[in-house]
Chains A and B, each alone.
Chain A
Amino acid sequence: MELTPQDKSSEQSPESIEAGEKERWASLIGGGAMVLMGLRQRSLRGVLMAVAGGGLLYQGAKKQSTLKQAQEALGLNQPIKVEKTVTINKPAAELYSYWRDFEKLPTFMKHLESVTVLDDKRSHWVAKAPLDAKVEWDAEIIQEQENELIAWASTEDADIENSGFVRFKPAPGNRGTEVKVVMEYNPPGGAIASALAKLFGEEPDQQIGDELRRFKQLMEAGEIATTEGQPSGRD
């Protein structure tokens, strides 16, 4: 199909182009409302809660788009924050519905032992920790848009406060769906990051990347590629 110049201009205003380039989680999370109060709470969780609370005017942090920028602006370096995106060759609805069934998440999230759904909003998470230890918490969905977004946060009394969202966005040119995960882990009382590193690996970035890749393999190929259990001359 050929676009006339007029079509183009009506489709992409200068503003929307800028918004596309400088992707803000405000706009990811949707609704347009957000940020100031959330950022004052110095955490992604705060942001998500603020959005869920609604009614806040979007202002101030317009250009503070990515996680890193926000982090720098606020001088946050204690919590572990991760932002990763992968493109999956499947429609958003299919990916969303698999993910929304939280009890299936341990299939591709290796650090999780189990997730138990308690009710429509709340679920109980058990993660593996070294030396057969376990870390548990309750989480609740604080924002949800069917086939587009799921945002969650741990409840107030969690051992490790954590929050995040997963966003499903159709990729251009029939390339499937861009699945983006943003997550944040807050150790209790601002404890050192190494305690978390034990749980989520030396490089949480890589771990979330691996988990997203396994999700992609499962959704596209129907199974997760593995070499565990194959022979070698080391056995």
Chain B
Amino acid sequence: MKAVCWQSANNVRVDNVPDPKILNPRDAIVKITSTAICGSDLHIYGGYIPTVQKGDIIGHEFMGEVVEVGKGVNNLQVGDRVVVPSTIGCGRCYYCERDMWSLCDNSNPNGWMEEKLFGNITSAIYGYSHLLGGYAGAQAEYIRVPFADVGVLKVPKELPDEKLLFISDAIPTGYMGAELCDIQPGDTVAVWGCGAVGQFAMISAYMMGAERVIAIDRFPERLEMARKYAKAETINYEEVDPGDALKEMTGGRGPDCCIDAVGLEAHGVGVEDFYDQTKQKLKLETDRPHVLRQMMVACRKGGTLSIMGVYGGFVDKMPLGAAFNKGLTFRMGQMHGQKYMRLLLQLVLDGKLDPSFIVTHQLPLDEAPHAYKIFQQKQDNCVKVVLKP
């Protein structure tokens, strides 16, 4: 089959590789009909995620059709149309049983590495480094889905892929980002990053009772999307200082909740940006925490920071004094897709959520190298690419 294989920083290639096989009783094989490039795939593309190896198949946002099931899978059949969550959960450990699927104890076969680095093991993610399991990713014609008898969402045949695909990753990530804010009626929610996750976080924040949503980014087309589809007010941080602007927009209080939908490759301006870029290049700091710093200072006293952007290692120069003295609450984590997918599908079926606006580019799988490039460089107004195997 054809698959997108990582070669080195900023270099992916579409290779011919063997088809995946059933390796365990609870496996299924899915023929992929649509797979997206997630913003967090750009961290892999750029070489920021450790333990990605040359030849690894990447990608974790996908849907398709079941073509084979293992003997331990009784609730799926060949021909079923499915959306698969990007994090892999066994469904039977302490965490999965409590709907904390991204904290699964059992899905990562390379747990020892993570245990050394993080102190515990978390769930594996498709195509997201050997540290996080080393599973082959979804930017391919076929994929092996472990623990397919739990978490996988069966979807009706009549809806187009573009309305369903993002239930795999971007929508539940944004939804969980809003949910972690514990939004109260009348709250103002600020969202850093207007990519797919940011857009769905804004839409979800309104669903949960936010009165105002303010979006922060630097690309006009993404800000325009936030205004048009997510009904957000916007701040372009290359034009104005987001801290000052947020203060003015919220009567001097600061937003009640701040959502980070950017992660470790945030861009800043000025000296601070130079400091982080340099340290990251020298491997003295793995992550660039501009957004975290801004959120800690901008948030109102007693407010909540919800972190959905991916962080992989170490950050420094954090204004912890601000966070401490202002009594902020930090909530974060990889999303628990399996917890939200059924609800999100219902919203789509009821016509309350149409995620297809996010797609700016649809390309054949063969054009993945080009797709990564335009998505990374934000060329051609690229916000979200769907690849068609």
Contacts and interface: CB of A to CB of B under 8 A. Distances in A.
Given A220-B106, A223-B24, A223-B26, A231 B19 contact: yes
A233 B1 CA distance: 11
A203 to B, nearest CB: 9
A225 B105 CA distance: 11
Interface stretch (A34-42, A181-189, A210-218): A210-218
Contacts of B1: 231
A225 B108 contact: yes
Contact of A233 (B25, B54, B124, B146): B54
Contacts of A206: 112
B94 A221 contact: no
Contacts of B26: 221-223
B192 interface: no
Interface in B84-116: 90-94, 97, 105-109, 111-112, 115
B4 to A, nearest CB: 9
Contacts, number: 101
Contacts of A213: 111-112, 121
Contacts of B7: 233
A175 interface: yes
Interface string A195-232: 00000000000100110010011001111111111111
Given A209-B115, A225-B124, A232-B57, A220 B105 contact: yes
Contacts of A147: none
A198 B163 CA distance: 54
B17 interface: yes
B16 to A, nearest CB: 9
Contacts of A222: 25-26, 72, 92
Contacts of B147: 221
Interface in B128-157: 133-136, 140, 144, 146-147
Contact of B112 (A210, A223, A224, A232): A210
A235 B15 CA distance: 11
B3 interface: yes
Contact of B106 (A209, A221, A235): A221
B269 to A, nearest CB: 38
Interface residues of A, number: 26
Nearest to B149: A222
Interface residues of B, number: 46
Contacts of B54: 233-234
B57 A233 contact: yes
Contacts of B187: none
Contacts of B144: 230
Overall SS of chain B's interface: loop
Q: Which of B26, B55, B106, B147 has the most C-beta atoms of chain A within 10 angstroms of its own C-beta?
A: B106
A159 B54 CA distance: 42
Contacts of B112: 206, 209-210, 213
A89 B57 contact: no
B372 to A, nearest CB: 15
Contacts of B121: 213
A233 B90 contact: no
Interface string B56-93: 11000000000000001000000000000000001111
A230 B20 contact: yes
Interface string A115-132: 000000000000000000
Given A231-B18, A232-B5, A233-B55, A226 B106 contact: no
Q: Which of A175, A209, A228, A234 has the most C-beta atoms of chain B within 10 angstroms of its own C-beta?
A: A234
A232 B111 CA distance: 20
Given A228-B23, A230-B23, A231-B17, A89 B136 contact: no
A176 interface: yes
Contacts of A217: 90, 106
Contacts of A235: 17-18, 55
Given A221-B106, A225-B124, A230 B90 contact: no
Contact of B133 (A176, A216, A227, A233): A227
Contacts of A232: 5, 17, 55-57, 136
Contact of B94 (A176, A223, A228): A176
B25 A223 contact: yes
Contacts of B97: 89
B106 A227 contact: no
A221 B92 contact: yes
A223 B72 contact: yes
A217 to B, nearest CB: 5
A223 B19 CA distance: 22
A96 B326 CA distance: 50
Interface of A: 87, 89, 175-176, 206, 209-210, 213, 216-217, 220-235
8 contacts: A87-B94, A209-B115, A213-B111, A217-B106, A225-B107, A227-B109, A230-B136, A232-B5
